[in-house]
Amino acid sequence: MLRIGKFFRSLIPFDSLTITTSLTFLEVLQRLDEVLTPPKLFRITLPFGPPPAKPYEGTISGNTFKISRIITGRNSFLPIIKGEIYSQPFGCSIRIRMSLHKIVLAFMILWLWTTGFIGMFSLFAWYVEPSVGAIFLPILAMFFFGWLLCLIPFKIEAKAATKFFSILLT
């Protein structure tokens, strides 16, 4: 049952992990601060220019943080990383959740719902009356294209962030 849940979680653009470390609360905050720059409304980074001084931008407030990676170019499917730091007797536990930006998520839900609904309706219409033609094929292809367009870049970035934070906080 656990493998089925893990399989379905891999099909959506959300990710979470918990990192347990022997670092103290202040050491975790210090390490996060070393790789974090304050967010800017507009950030211009050139592909052939110097890399940014710090790889992530965002804020730390108390025991929570909200950050995203600084990239060159555009990637609407870049994960927004939210985390909480919990002190434990022998270190800390950091719970990290990665998700899409709310506007991108709303757009993708609209895209997938619309193409999925119309595609299934046309599939049903074709099943009832085959002379309608297989119009459902390009519509359902748009559904899968949108889903993969969202999922693949998100998962690539989420995997890179997971590796980065695992190394940073251990």
Q: pTM score > 0.75 for this model?
A: yes
How far apart CA 58 and CA 60 sit, in angstroms, is 7
Indicate if the pLDDT at residue 112 is higher than 90: yes
Coil, strand, or helix at residue 125?
Answer: helix
The residue that leads in pLDDT, 81 or 129, is 81
Domains in the chain with CATH codes: 2-104+143-168 (3.30.310)
> pLDDT per residue over 46-74, tens digit each?
667 777 788 899 999 999 999 999 887 77
Average pLDDT of the chain to the nearest whole number = 88
Residue 66: its pLDDT value, please?
Answer: 95
Indicate if the pLDDT at residue 44 is higher than 90: no
Q: Which residue has the tokens 């839900």?
A: 109
Q: What is the mean pLDDT of residues 6-12?
A: 77
Distances (CA, A) of 10 to 6, 18, 48, 111, 151: 6, 17, 34, 20, 9
Please count the other Cβ atoms lying within 10 Å of the Cβ belonging to residue 43.
Answer: 11
Residue 50: its pLDDT value, please?
Answer: 73
